[in-house]
């Protein structure tokens, strides 16, 4: 049971507050990804200092190492990793589906071999709920199947229908408590009728929130937006909407316009480790020699500690020398950039100027669509 309060609307864009057992989340929100119990190269204090209020953990990775039972013995994922705020966990479904060749899907669930030990594991709706409960996730994701893109409509239909059966079993197995919620996941690929059937099935079951799965899988931004156009606002108005695994800054800005409230993506942290910096005037590759004598910060308008204290020349040096501090400083900056974007988005909705904000952003930051 999760309380979600819609504070304001501006077109289809929504400004809200989600209340969980571990604190409030202002929406629209972006969740940094802490795959195996750590937002890579960041302390939890640093993650919080960027403005992040909720992070994402991965069921698949954590069930293999250190194991959900072990995390539970440590008092849950929050205590284990020293992140006192809300945590959303995925169901493990997306990752086990990606283990092609190593996994076998039946109506019961997915049997697979650990990529670490080779050991055989089983993931089913019931086991996924049990694991996410052991992790003490504030937001549990229903167990679903995500087909590869592109795929035949008949394949997508069959998969979506199985996902709906699995999500019903997820709901039945989920232990409902105050401050803890279960999100259903809409599937159906790029097919409007399948998306609509999926939404009907999910709303009949009833969830605390609704995620949109099967997007950002290679279909391109235009098609993603066109699916969102008919999917997002068909979801219950009084429940949070989460677009999984998205995305680039322009993906987020365009999705909020279409009624989405929550996002997650490895992009800011992964880019930070590989030397890419998000700035208000484009993405910089800090490994490029052009930065070697640059005494400017990454972004003169940015208030993050990296931009307050370090030059592009120094960050370039750290990456060239292979220093861990380079990944630390750039990840911090990138997550701050994303959180700052969310602050701007929330403010624009509050001030009823989201369409203008969107249009100006799309014009100015179109660069990221080439990433």
The site string for a copy of itself over 300-319 (x = CB under 8 A, - otherwise) reads -----x---xxx-xx--xx-
Among 63, 81, 146, 345, binds a copy of itself (CB under 8 A): 81
Which of 251, 264, 299, 368 is an active site residue?
264
From the list 75-83, 94-102, 234-242, 348-356, the region that binds a copy of itself by CB under 8 A is 75-83
**Closest to 172 (Cα-Cα) out of 207, 197, 201:** 207
Judged by CB under 8 A, does residue 202 bind a copy of itself? no
Judged by CB under 8 A, does residue 295 bind a copy of itself? yes
Whether 10 is catalytic: no
* Pairwise CA distance, residues 247 & 53, whole Å: 18
Cβ partners under 8 Å of residue 106, min gap 6: none
Cβ partners under 8 Å of residue 328, min gap 6: 41, 42
**Closest to 135 (Cα-Cα) out of 203, 85, 80:** 80
Which of 10, 90, 251, 368 is an active site residue?
90
Judged by CB under 8 A, does residue 40 bind a copy of itself? yes
**Closest to 352 (Cα-Cα) out of 8, 27, 4:** 8
CB of 31 to a copy of itself, least distance (A): 18
Judged by CB under 8 A, does residue 328 bind a copy of itself? yes
* Pairwise CA distance, residues 269 & 273, whole Å: 6
Strand residue runs (E) in 11-167: 13-20, 23-27, 29-31, 55-57, 87-89, 103-105, 110-113, 120-123, 139-141
Among 51, 66, 179, 236, binds a copy of itself (CB under 8 A): 66
Among 1, 155, 290, 324, binds a copy of itself (CB under 8 A): 324
From the list 34-42, 49-57, 245-253, 356-364, the region that binds a copy of itself by CB under 8 A is 34-42
Closest CB to a copy of itself among 69 and 176? 69
* Pairwise CA distance, residues 179 & 222, whole Å: 36
CB of 328 to a copy of itself, least distance (A): 7
Closest CB to a copy of itself among 31 and 252? 31
The strand pairing partners of 187, in sequence order, are: none
Among 38, 98, 280, 355, binds a copy of itself (CB under 8 A): 38
Judged by CB under 8 A, does residue 49 bind a copy of itself? no
Q: Where is 279: in which H helix or E strand?
A: strand 276-279
Closest CB to a copy of itself among 147 and 307? 307
Record the tokens describing residue 50, joined without a space. 């960027």
Phi and psi for 168 in degrees, rounded to 5? -65, -45
Whether 136 is catalytic: no
Burial group, residue 295, by CB count within 10 angstroms (0-12, 13-18, 19+): exposed
Positions marked catalytic: 90, 264
- Chain positions contacting a copy of itself, by CB under 8 A: 36-38, 40-43, 61, 65-66, 70, 73-74, 80-82, 273, 292-293, 295, 305, 309-311, 313-314, 317-318, 320-321, 323-325, 327-329
């Amino acid at each position: 049971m999760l309380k979600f309060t819609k504070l304001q609307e501006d077109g289809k864009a929504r400004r809200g507050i989600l209340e969980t057992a571990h604190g409030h989340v202002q929406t629209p929100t972006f969740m940094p990804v802490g795959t195996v119990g750590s937002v890579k190269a960041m302390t939890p204090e640093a993650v919080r200092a960027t403005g992040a209020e909720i992070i994402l953990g991965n069921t698949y990775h954590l069930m293999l190492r250190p194991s959900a039972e072990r995390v539970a013995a440590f008092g849950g994922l929050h205590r284990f990793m020293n992140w006192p705020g809300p945590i959303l966990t995925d169901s493990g479904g997306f990752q086990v589906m990606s283990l092609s060749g190593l996994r076998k899907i039946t109506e019961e669930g997915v049997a697979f071999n650990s990529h670490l030990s080779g050991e055989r594991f089983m993931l089913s709706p019931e086991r996924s709920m049990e694991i996410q409960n052991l992790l003490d996730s504030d937001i549990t994701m229903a167990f679903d199947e995500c087909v590869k893109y592109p795929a035949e409509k008949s394949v997508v239909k069959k998969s979506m229908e199985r996902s709906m059966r699995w999500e019903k079993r997820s709901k039945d197995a989920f232990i409902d408590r105050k401050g803890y919620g279960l999100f259903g996941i809409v599937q159906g690929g790029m097919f409007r009728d399948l998306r609509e059937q999926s939404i009907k099935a999910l709303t009949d079951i009833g969830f605390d929130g609704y995620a949109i799965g099967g997007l950002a899988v290679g279909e391109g931004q235009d098609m993603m937006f066109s699916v969102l156009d008919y999917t997002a606002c068909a979801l219950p108005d009084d429940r949070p909407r989460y677009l999984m695994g998205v995305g680039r800054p322009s993906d987020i800005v365009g999705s909020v316009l279409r009624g989405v409230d929550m996002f997650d993506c490895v992009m800011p942290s992964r880019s930070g480790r590989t030397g890419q910096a998000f700035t208000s005037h484009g993405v910089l590759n800090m490994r490029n020699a052009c930065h070697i004598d640059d005494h400017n910060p990454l972004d003169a308008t940015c208030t993050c500690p990296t931009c307050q204290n370090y030059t592009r020349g120094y960050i370039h040096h750290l990456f060239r020398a292979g220093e861990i501090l380079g990944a630390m400083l750039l990840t911090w900056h990138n997550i701050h950039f994303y959180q700052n974007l969310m602050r701007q988005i929330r403010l624009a909705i509050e001030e009823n100027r989201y369409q203008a904000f969107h249009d100006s952003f799309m014009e100015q930051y179109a660069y990221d669509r080439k990433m």
